[in-house]
């Protein structure tokens, strides 16, 4: 029945049926560390120990899997914990192929944590299917992408990359796994599994939670064997989502379709305003028809996240003066909340990248990333106009 439901209905009902005993319409916060057994090896409803499984987490995983058109999902204590679970699939001397346009925390994980275990990272020259295919080698075990990227909103053709990766075999005679970080579009606006991805990852902290009050991560798959390997890691490593955090994320998901439409609406309004302002040097927004690969918005997305990045005229001094003039936009890490946030990627989200790498891909000192909340767009534009002047 659930597979025939539309997205907004799934967000409210998938994995969230009323409790059969009490009739409660909300999923209970299951605050227990362990569960009574009915006998040796006899688990009641499959629950044994809360690290292995928990009713609150199981419900959330069911919902996220349904929204991503996946068979199984696994939830973790953070987006980085979810990414680490995926990277645990690697073996020494394996290789990750990725693009330069990825989240700074992912770069840090690749280069500062996993390289010491004999994992190498090969960065494709460009963000194109052809460039990624050229970068594949006999050691490639994972291809890691994100679209739109953080913070420049670069778009990549997920289906085309999936097709090229599918036809490649490494020295183990295996197809590399294609991972797509789907945090920016959320499952409301993009579903990479339907485009050929093997694993979808999320920082649930962002749009899925949507209220800047919880940290979380998730991965979604369609392959049973792959899910079993990742499930083993989740239980063994133990960086699982706490029950109260699961409740907050579940609550956030119920309004995800509505929030994403408002985020998108505000992003279009503000991107157009910024593009017309004399103190703005360049605006990065995939909704513009002249944005690189703009056609991919219609091909693989149902909408755009509320993210707009831009370069202000002048250097760091101009950035600081702009920040000081804002009243509504809040200078803070993260994105995707109901309140509008902004960040300085060079010193915040992408500080882990060497300056040479940042300069190469265009993350300069005068780059600013905006995350539109759900406020009135006119008020947000007035706030930006006052600060820019």
What digits encode the pLDDT tens for the residues 365-380? 999 999 999 999 999 9
Q: Is the pLDDT of residue 215 over 80?
A: yes
**Tokens standing for residue 355:** 């300056």
Distance CA 194, CA 7 (A): 14
Q: Is 57 exposed, middle or buried (0-12, 13-18, 19+ CB in 10 A)?
A: buried
Q: Is 350 exposed, middle or buried (0-12, 13-18, 19+ CB in 10 A)?
A: buried
Q: Cα-flanking dihedrals φ and ψ of residue 81, to 5°?
A: -65, -35
Helices and strands (DSSP H and E) totals, the chain: 14, 14
Is 339 strand, coil or helix? coil
pLDDT-based confidence at residue 45 (cuts at 50, 70, 90)? confident
Q: CB neighbours of 200 closer than 8 A, spacing ≥ 6?
A: 68, 70, 179, 180, 182, 191, 192, 193, 219, 220, 221
Rounded to an integer, the average pLDDT of 64-81 is 98
Average pLDDT, the chain: 96
Domain 2-254 bears CATH identifier 3.40.50.10420: no
Angle between helices 243-254 and 55-67 (to 10 degrees): 30
Q: Is the pLDDT of residue 2 over 70?
A: no
**Tokens standing for residue 59:** 């419900």
Q: Is the pLDDT of residue 381 over 50?
A: yes
- Which residue's structure tokens are 């020494």? 92
Every domain range in the chain assigned CATH 3.40.640.10 = 2-254
Would you state the pLDDT for residue 1?
43
Rounded to an integer, the average pLDDT of 178-203 is 98
Domain 256-388 bears CATH identifier 3.90.1150.10: yes
Every domain range in the chain assigned CATH 3.90.1150.10 = 256-388
Q: What is the pLDDT of residues 245-292, one digit of tens each?
A: 999 999 999 999 999 999 999 999 999 999 999 999 999 999 999 999
| Catalytic sites, residue numbers | 51, 103, 181, 206
Q: What is the pLDDT of residues 133-144, one digit of tens each?
A: 999 999 999 999
Distance CA 142, CA 155 (A): 19
Please tell me the pTM assigned to this model.
0.95
CA 316 remoteness from chain centre: 28
Q: Give me the percent of the chain exceeding a pLDDT of 70.
A: 99
Q: What is the pLDDT of residues 94-135, one digit of tens each?
A: 999 999 989 999 999 999 999 999 999 999 988 899 999 999
Would you state the pLDDT for residue 3?
61
**Tokens standing for residue 290:** 């002249």
Would you state the pLDDT for residue 19?
86
């Amino acid at each position: 029945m659930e597979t025939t439901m539309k997205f907004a209905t799934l967000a409210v009902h998938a994995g969230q049926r009323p409790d059969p005993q009490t009739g409660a319409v909300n999923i209970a916060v299951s605050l227990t560390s362990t569960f009574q057994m009915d006998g040796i090896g006899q688990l009641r409803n499959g629950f044994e120990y809360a690290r292995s499984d928990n009713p609150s987490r199981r419900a959330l995983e069911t919902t996220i899997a349904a929204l991503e058109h996946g068979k199984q999902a696994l939830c973790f204590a953070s987006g980085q914990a979810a990414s680490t679970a995926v990277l645990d699939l690697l073996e020494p001397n394996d290789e990750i192929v990725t693009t330069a346009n990825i989240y700074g925390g992912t770069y840090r994980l690749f280069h500062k944590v996993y390289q010491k275990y004999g994992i190498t990272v090969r960065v494709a020259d460009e963000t194109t299917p052809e460039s990624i295919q050229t970068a594949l080698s006999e050691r490639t075990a994972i291809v890691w992408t994100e679209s739109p990227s953080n913070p420049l909103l670069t778009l990549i053709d997920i289906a085309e990359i999936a097709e090229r990766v599918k036809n490649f075999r490494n020295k183990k005679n295996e197809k590399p796994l294609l991972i797509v970080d789907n945090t920016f579009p959320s499952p409301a606006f993009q579903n990479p599994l339907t485009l050929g991805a093997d694993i979808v990852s999320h920082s649930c902290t962002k749009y899925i939670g949507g209220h800047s009050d919880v940290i979380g991560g998730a991965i979604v798959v369609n392959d049973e064997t792959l899910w079993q390997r990742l499930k083993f890691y989740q239980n063994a490593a133990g960086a699982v989502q706490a029950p109260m955090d699961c409740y907050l994320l579940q609550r956030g998901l119920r309004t995800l379709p509505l929030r994403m439409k408002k985020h998108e609406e505000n992003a279009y309004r503000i991107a157009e305003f910024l593009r017309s302002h004399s103190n703005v040097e360049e605006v990065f927004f995939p909704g513009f028809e002249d944005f690189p690969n703009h056609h991919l918005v219609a091909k693989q997305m149902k909408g755009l996240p509320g993210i707009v990045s831009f370069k202000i005229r002048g250097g760091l001094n101009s950035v600081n003066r702009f920040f000081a003039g804002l009243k509504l936009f809040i200078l803070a890490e993260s994105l995707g909340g109901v309140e509008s946030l902004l960040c300085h990627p060079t010193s915040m989200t992408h500080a882990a990248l060497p300056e040479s790498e940042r300069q190469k891909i265009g993350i300069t000192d005068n780059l600013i990333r905006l995350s539109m909340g759900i406020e009135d767009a006119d008020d947000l534009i007035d706030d930006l106009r006052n600060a820019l002047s």
